[in-house]
Structures are given as structure tokens and as C-alpha cells.
Amino acid sequence: MSGDIKMRRAIGSHGTVHGVDGLQQRHDAAQTLPALFCDSAGCAAPLIFVPARPRPKTDPAYPAPMPGYFALDKGAAHVTGCRYNVAGHLAEVLDAAAASDPAFVQRLEDGRHELRLLALHQGLKRGGGALPEQQMRLLSTLLVLRAMCGNDALLADRVVLRLGKKKLAWDAFFHDPAHYDEAWARLDAASNEVPMALLGTVRSHRSPPPGTGAGATYLNCAPKYQKTGVMDRREFYEVSVGHDDAAWLQRFPVGAEIVMFGLWRQGNSHTSTRPHPTDPRRSITNVTHKLALRPGSPGQLAVVA
């Protein structure tokens, strides 16, 4: 499984830290790329850089490009204890949590672990930031590991999600940008706010204009764009996080990949039209759907790193 992990940074042979953006620029300029190694302490597994590339037209996020990343070189492996050895790290985290907080994480007879989300859900509904800190840290760790995996397979195989008497499927709980439309549809079908985790890339921060008094600052993520199958109609799914502490939200810089957990709600959808760029007889219709989160605890947002 660790071979499938998409890493966001690497170390060069002289100890230089390389990020995806810098290597992408060098790749685009046809420059020679340095030797790359895992940045986790004590690992140094050889890596390759996989540059950004166009998505296939069958991908639901088309035409947004597939971002670049670092991956293990052929035949390489992360050492035991490396933070990118997700399967091993996940087992350690779950075993420790089951021993320290069996009311939250319970080991099942089949070797899996059950994560009981009811206390967190109740804390979110009460508001005021009164979330069990230890439980929030564990959930944040699991969500970051899920984001690093790129799909649900490992977490779904090892962790059962339970909310009261109901089990939650991972694909109904965790949504990456390609599945924002599914998160929106789940909210649309619900009678109240729904606990979910979304993965996103920070695109911008928007604060109230100076002199207008207190107000929320919004962290906006890159939206999902999709064609609808209807000529000249496109849909956008936008994700935003609002909070009165602007400085806290701005700690998540533009370009950072983050996981966001909490009670999500639908914002108002908006429809706009504009003339077709080449055919004056036609017009383009854009429909924008919004998903919004107002976190009460700092642990509800975490950087994927």
C-alpha cells in the first residue's frame, strides 16, 4: 500500500527540501531533476517525481489537471516506522487508541477496529468547541492517512465507522474534490447538517472589508467542475470554511491540501448565464452549488503533509 502513497515533498541528495510546485516548474522548463528521497526521518527511500498531467475525459473532475506528486521509485519501499508507511502507521494508531480509549475505538473479533463517532457528533451539535480533544486528534490523524492513500480501500478494510446504531460507509463519509457532487447530494437528501470529512486544496481567503466591523473570514477551496451532459450547461461545487478567527484560517496557506471535518450544510445554489464565446445564438449556463462548514474546534481542519 505504501507504494501507492502520493507524497507532497521530498529531500534531495544534499538535504534540500523539494516541493511539488518547484519540481513542476523545473519539469516544465525541461531542467534536470535532482535525485529525490523520502523526507521521513530514518527512511530515505528513493522517490520519483510524477508531474501534473491532463485528466482523462472520463474523470469526473475533467478538465482540471491531475496534480503532480512524489512516489516511490520502482522496487523501493518505505522503512518500518516511516510516516508514509500508512498501513503500518494505521495499525499502530488504532492499537494505541483501542488501549487508551476503548469507548471510542474498539477492536473487533475479525481484527478490524470500530470508530464510534457519536460523542463527536453530539459535541458538534452542541457547538461551543466542546469536542473531546483526544478523539478529535485521532480522527484527524485517520483522515490525513485516508487523504494520503488516495482512495478508501485501506481505511475501509481496517476501520468500521459507526454513528450510534448506524454504520457509515467510508465513501459516504469522506469526499475528495472529484466527489464534491456526492457530498452535496447527501446534504440535499438530509433533513439537517451532516457529519462528513472533505478533502480540498486552499484557493483563497476572504475577509470582511476594513471598517465594516466584525465578520467571518472564509477559506475557499478549489471547486469541482463538471459537465452535465446537457449542452452549454456546467456545474461547479464550491467548498468554504467560515470562522471569526481570520488568523487561524490563514495558517492554512493557499495551495495547502487540507482535510475538513464537521457538520456540513448546503449554501444557496446560484445560476448565471453568459453569451457563448463563438456562437451568438447560444448561451452558457453555469450552476454553482455551495458546501459550507463553520468549525468550532481547531482540530476540525488539518493539513495533509
26-85 residue pLDDT tens: 999 999 999 999 999 899 999 999 998 876 666 555 556 677 899 999 999 898 888 888
Average pLDDT of the segment spanning 131-158: 92
> What CATH number is given for 178-303 in this structure?
2.40.50
> Which residue stretches of 59-132 are H helix?
86-100, 118-126
**pLDDT above 60: residue 209:** yes
Q: Which residues pair with 262 in a beta bridge?
A: 196
- pLDDT the model gives residue 179: 92
* Cell representation of residue 31: 531542467
- pLDDT the model gives residue 57: 63
pLDDT tens sequence across 80-134? 888 888 888 899 999 999 999 999 999 999 999 999 999 899 888 887 656 788 8
Arithmetic mean of pLDDT over the chain: 89
- pLDDT the model gives residue 194: 81
- pLDDT the model gives residue 168: 94
Top pLDDT among 202 and 128 is at 202
Average pLDDT of the segment spanning 127-146: 86
CA angle 183/185/190 to nearest 5° reads 95
What is the number of H-type helices and E-type strands within the chain? 8, 18
Handedness of CA 39, 43, 46, 49 (dihedral sign): negative
C-beta contacts of 65-69 below 8 A and 24+ residues apart: 67/20, 67/201, 68/20, 68/23, 68/24, 68/27, 69/6, 69/7, 69/8, 69/20
Question: What's the rounded Cα separation, in Å, for the pair 238 and 203?
Answer: 11
Average pLDDT of the segment spanning 214-240: 87
Question: What's the rounded Cα separation, in Å, for the pair 228 and 88?
Answer: 41
- pLDDT the model gives residue 213: 65
**pLDDT above 60: residue 188:** yes
Question: What's the rounded Cα separation, in Å, for the pair 295 and 128?
Answer: 9
C-beta contacts of 188-191 below 8 A and 24+ residues apart: 188/266
Average pLDDT of the segment spanning 201-221: 87
Short-list 224, 216, 291, CA closest to 250: 216
Place of cell 456562437: 279
Question: What's the rounded Cα separation, in Å, for the pair 103 and 123?
Answer: 15
- pLDDT the model gives residue 35: 96
Supply the pTM of this predicted model. Answer: 0.84
pLDDT tens sequence across 237-285? 999 999 999 999 999 999 899 999 999 999 888 999 999 889 888 998 9
Q: What does the radius of gyration of the chain's CA atoms come to, in whole angstroms?
A: 21
Coil vs helix vs strand at 16: coil
Of 43-57, 88-102, 177-191, 288-302, the range with the lowest mean pLDDT is: 43-57
Question: What's the rounded Cα separation, in Å, for the pair 234 and 220?
Answer: 20
- pLDDT the model gives residue 1: 47
Where are the CATH 2.40.50 domain residues in the chain? Answer: 178-303
Question: What's the rounded Cα separation, in Å, for the pair 11 and 256?
Answer: 19
Residues in the chain: 305
